[in-house]
Structure 1
Amino acid sequence: MDTELRAFWQRFFEFNWKFGVFLIILICVPRFLLVLEANATGNYGYIGIIMLVSAMAPFLFLTQSGRRDIGIVSSGNYGWLLTAFVCGLLISLLLYVAGKICYGNSYENWYIYIGKSYRIPDHIDEKTKSILFTVMAVTGMTFSPVGEELFFRGIVHSSFAKSIGNTNASLVDSTAFALTHISHFGLIFLDGQWTLLPLPTIIWIISMFFVSILFSLFKKYSGSILGSIICHSAFNLGMIYAIFYLLKN
């Protein structure tokens, strides 16, 4: 008998790959559509809600034992947590360099397009810019890392791992993570119309896949989902810093 799922959910599901597919459909499909809608309208309010729902999924569906099994435990591996932060930061800056070399300041550069959603004024004084950066950095280092890691590297990964093992489960959750991020970049909304950027999208998907694998590794080495959250938070910090201070706004 499964001990991961709460008794209520055991009436409908087993904790296996089918449950993982259910979660991906339940969360990722609406999220994909909401992000596209936000990119078209400029209203990103619902994105915070979907991140909150993602973060709540383990607490809604799993028992306390189940939550421990997916990595919601403390970590005393401070060396790995620090390494996770440094690696996340470096990888995000490396992705900035790659985008700059390949696509300059065009909207084919992933950080340029994502930065458009931040609505940084063309003429902004340094004090106001630093305040805006701080707000965006704090938000970016909390909502999506916590929500996405508890969801993708947490409950989704473990449900697939129960059926196909940890290695294959990492491939599945990383693929789901990468494809979900096409809504953030790849399928872009410019001048009132949608455009798919074939090669930049492929590069972005591959990048997000391997970034996701990196998050998984730090969950493993730190012994806690906190490792992947910290790596993800640092990645977002590096991306936001690049958007505010390294790109030509």
Structure 2
Amino acid sequence: MLAMLLASAFIAMRVMGTLGPLGLFWMLPLSFCVMAALPWILLSPHGRRNIGLQAPSGKAPYALALICGAAAALLCFALGMLLYGATPDNWFVSIAASFRRTAPTAGLSIWMLHLMITVPACIFSPIGEEIFFRGVLQKALEEKLSVRSSTCVEAGLFGLAHLCHHGLSMTAAGLSLNAASAAVWVTLMFATACLFAWLRRRHASLWPAMAAHAAFNLTMNAVIFQFLWPTLPL
């Protein structure tokens, strides 16, 4: 119950940080930091090892994780371009537009912006989200559900949390939902979360899942700034 309440709170912070006024943007990185700190607040050393806060054996898991994360991002990009092109229905276009809305772009080159946005994206969300979703939440759900059911629940919540990056938007009339492309985007995020969960189970460690998540964000931002950023309105 506590894990589900925390999931709801983190999703609410994410929505407010991404869709709310710019003055609330701080809630997004704060949510990642709190997620990352939870095991040291709630769990014993044994509990932290049990959720996967231990190194995997050897270096091979990291190579597999990096390939999986980058491939998942490229698949999301290719499918978005195939279905919607460089239009607002494309999830990566929505994410690029959110970068333009929140980042201080004045006087910065595209490469400086890329670096400024990508470095935090490869640290905060991979660490915070993997520790919470694939670690704390997954293991808490497994106390009541099977591994498969637990993975489906945490991956579903992970997918829904990403609606605030594409699908849900704030307009003058309030929240608006782009149902068709949002459904595809949530499905892609659900599948990506299942991939990260598989890496965590395969190697009994959260580190490969974090590496895959970082590779996803790195690849996503690379294609955004290479192919989509120049097409956005100023």
Q: Which amino acid aligns with 1:113?
A: S
More divergent stretch after superposition (182-191 vs 60-69): 182-191
Q: Deviations over 1:203-245 (max 9, x none)?
A: 0111010000000011112221001101111011111111100
Quote the offset at 1:188 in angstroms: 1.6
In the other structure, the counterpart of 1:172 is 153
CA contact (8 A) 1:88 1:232 kept: yes
Distance 1:184 1:143 in 2: 16
Matching of residue 27 in structure 1 with residue 10 in structure 2: yes
Cα separation, partners in 2 of 1:183 and 1:158, compared to 1, 3 Å? same
Quote the offset at 1:193 in angstroms: 5.3
Pick aligned residue for 2:144 from 159, 163, 173: 163
In the other structure, the counterpart of 1:182 is 163
Distance 2:2 2:58 in 1: 31
Pick aligned residue for 2:74 from 93, 101, 115: 93
Matching of residue 48 in structure 1 with residue 29 in structure 2: yes
TM-score by length of 1: 0.84
TM-score by length of 2: 0.89
Distance 1:48 1:124 in 2: 22
Distance 1:88 1:162 in 2: 28
Q: Deviations over 1:159-205 (max 9, x none)?
A: 01122132211111101111111111111235775421011010011
Matching of residue 147 in structure 1 with residue 128 in structure 2: yes
Distance 1:77 1:173 in 2: 28
Output aligned runs, 1:183-222, within 5 Å.
183-189=164-170, 194-222=175-203
Q: CA RMSD in A?
A: 2.2
Q: Percent sequence identity over matched residues?
A: 27
Q: Deviations over 1:89-124 (max 9, x none)?
A: 111011111111111121111010111121189x99
Q: Secondary structure at the match of 2:142?
A: helix
Q: Secondary structure at the match of 2:100?
A: coil
Q: Secondary structure at the match of 1:235?
A: helix
CA contact (8 A) 2:13 2:27 kept: no
CA contact (8 A) 1:141 1:237 kept: yes
Q: Secondary structure at the match of 2:10?
A: helix
Matching of residue 67 in structure 1 with residue 48 in structure 2: yes
Aligned pairs, number: 228
Question: Rg bigger for which structure?
Answer: 1
- Regions of 4+ moved over 4 Å: 190-193
Q: Deviations over 1:4-27 (max 9, x none)?
A: xxxxxxxxxxxxxx2332322332
Cα separation, partners in 2 of 1:189 and 1:242, compared to 1, 3 Å? farther
